[in-house]
Amino acid sequence: MKRLTIRQYLAGLGCSVPAEEIYGYISEWLEWYQNEVSRFHTYRIYDGVRLRSEKRYRLGMAKKVCEDWANLLLNEKVSIRAGDYDGRLREILERNNFRVRGNQLIELAFALGTGAFVEYRDPRGGVVIDYVRADMIYPISCENGDVTECAFGSYRNYGGRECIYIQLHRLGRAEDGENPGEYYLENRLADASSGAPGPCPEVMGAVIRTRSVTPLFQFITPNIVNNVDLDSPMGISVFANALDEIRACDLVFDSYINEFVLGRKRILVPISLARMAMERQENGGETAFIPQFDPSETVFYQMPSDRSSDLKPTEVDMTIRAAEHELGIQRALDLCSFKCGLGTKHYQFTGTAAKTATEVISDKSDLYQNLKKNEITVRAALVRMAQAVAFLDGMGPDMEVSVDFDDSVIEDTGAFIDRNLKLVQSGLRSRITAIMEITRCSEEEAKRELQRISGEAQATGAETDWAALAGGPL
């Protein structure tokens, strides 16, 4: 029996879901991310006798680009601060393996165009964060480009049968007898073949009133326009407009590897010099001596018997065009990284000297600008995620949250600190502001740190010329 799609099931519930077209693109991007596009990576070649199937060697740049973006945007140095709630927030994030799964979600979001954090309470009251990829996300309604209601679907196995599991996040409506403006979670289960509704396991619950006026999910997308479907609330893969460049990387790399495979040294040997062995003929005739070669031999090649008998062993040494291929690969990588927002010099295999962060900012201005642009969307999602976690944990919904990204890859930390010190010394910046920027902390934390510094200076009797460093009042 044909399997019911999640889109069909949602349509049966009366939900308005995005057009099928965007999910076709997501499937294509997933193939490139998984580095297995059968119509491209498998090809047929004529060898003079027959057509045979070949596998193309590949670099896998679609996944590599997404890995690099995830490592730039959400690595171990990214800090999420929430004032007095800091410790509790850190505990919940650690319990949900946020440092690992969050990085993986950004990688998938940049590969498939969209990812989402989804928060809810488990049966024991603990706060749970789900990390959902694009092909499981089905926006229902949106306002000014922001998704306000959404369904998250997956195929699961319950009681030995394949089922569709849907978690709906929808707003209450007065006409339905619900609290308008508050979010409700609906858990639905249906047979994947017939669509017949099935009872939700008790641990799920059927309908849950969250009492939240803000959604308990947050989207992450690359901060670029979805030009494959301008009306879709879904995002676009970071390499959606770079597929030709990714193909070029694989084509040149495949040619490069084949240059070595086909360019192996050969020695042409006349049949008269071939090693002889006894072998009985298939028709049961007399045993005869026939030339034989080791099937695994790759150096010697037996010349046909119709060639001159006095032919001597001849070496055939094919010249390998390594330099030309390496230049071609570098050009393909430059184009690929440029189209994916990483700049033209992100992948370099020819240089040996390390560059300072100042040189990186200068040489990779495209990367710097695109990184700052993508930090906007990721910061907004992380702030709303932390606020949703705090709300489910019993805190207020408007808790102040700040996110500090790791700019050490593109910013010279030493020069940054030195600049702050010079501004303090010249009276253009306060010590509090300098401490906040250098240590990436809140104003209250900076004040406490300054008090500790002053206390230690008094305890040790060290003479600190605070007047020279103050640059103004606290």
Handedness of CA 329, 332, 337, 343 (dihedral sign): positive
- Helix, strand, or coil here: 332? helix
Phi and psi at residue 39, in whole multiples of 5°?
Answer: -70, -10
Surface-to-core class of residue 56, CB atoms within 10 Å of its CB (0-12 exposed, 13-18 middle, 19+ buried): middle
pLDDT of residue 451: 82
Task: State the Cα–Cα distance between residues 220 and 133, nearest whole angstrom.
Answer: 10
Place of tokens 């490592």: 71
Residue 399 is classified by DSSP as -
pLDDT for 392 beyond 70: yes
pLDDT for 42 beyond 80: yes
pLDDT of residue 144: 84
Task: State the Cα–Cα distance between residues 363 and 352, nearest whole angstrom.
Answer: 16
Mean pLDDT on 416-432: 81
Place of tokens 């008090």: 451
404, containing H or E segment: strand 402-404
* Confidence tier at 223 by pLDDT (50, 70, 90): very high
pLDDT for 124 beyond 60: yes
Is-contact 410 392, C-beta < 8 A? no
Give pairs for 193-198: CB < 8 Å, separation 24+: 193/1, 193/2, 193/3, 193/4, 193/162, 194/1, 194/4, 195/4, 195/8, 195/9, 195/12, 195/164, 198/158, 198/163
Task: State the Cα–Cα distance between residues 199 and 86, nearest whole angstrom.
Answer: 39
pLDDT of residue 285: 60
**Longest C-alpha distance within the chain, in Å?**
110
pLDDT of residue 466: 43
pLDDT for 303 beyond 70: no
pLDDT of residue 270: 59
* Confidence tier at 266 by pLDDT (50, 70, 90): low
Is-contact 152 116, C-beta < 8 A? yes
pLDDT for 118 beyond 60: yes
Single out the residue of 337, 398, 404, 351 nearest to residue 375, CA to CA: 404
Mean pLDDT on 440-467: 70
pLDDT of residue 469: 44
pLDDT of residue 195: 73
Among 137-151, 265-279, 371-385, 415-429, the range with the most confident prediction by mean pLDDT is 371-385
Position 151, amino acid: A
- Chain mean position to CA 363: 24
Surface-to-core class of residue 227, CB atoms within 10 Å of its CB (0-12 exposed, 13-18 middle, 19+ buried): exposed
* Confidence tier at 396 by pLDDT (50, 70, 90): confident
Q: Which two tokens stand for residue 311?
A: 């032919």
Whole-prediction pTM = 0.78
pLDDT for 302 beyond 90: no
Position 31, amino acid: E
Single out the residue of 8, 3, 1 nearest to residue 163, CA to CA: 3
Mean pLDDT on 340-347: 88
Task: State the Cα–Cα distance between residues 380 and 218, nearest whole angstrom.
Answer: 9
Position 130, amino acid: D
pLDDT for 105 beyond 80: yes
How large a percentage of the chain has pLDDT more than 90? Answer: 36
* Confidence tier at 151 by pLDDT (50, 70, 90): very high
How large a percentage of the chain has pLDDT more than 70? Answer: 75
- Helix, strand, or coil here: 79? strand
pLDDT for 332 beyond 90: yes
Mean predicted lDDT score pLDDT of the chain: 81
Task: State the Cα–Cα distance between residues 358 and 453, nearest whole angstrom.
Answer: 30
Task: State the Cα–Cα distance between residues 324 and 331, nearest whole angstrom.
Answer: 11
Q: What is the DSSP string of 100-139?
A: HHHHHHHHHHHHHS-EEEEEEE-TTS-EEEEEEEGGGEEE
The region of weakest confidence among 17-31, 94-108, 286-300 is: 286-300
Single out the residue of 337, 358, 336, 354 nearest to residue 346, CA to CA: 337
More confident residue, 270 or 416: 416
Give pairs for 154-160: CB < 8 Å, separation 24+: 154/6, 155/6, 155/192, 158/189, 158/198, 158/201
pLDDT of residue 454: 79
pLDDT of residue 383: 95
Is-contact 144 168, C-beta < 8 A? no
pLDDT of residue 201: 58
Task: State the Cα–Cα distance between residues 200 and 202, nearest whole angstrom.
Answer: 6
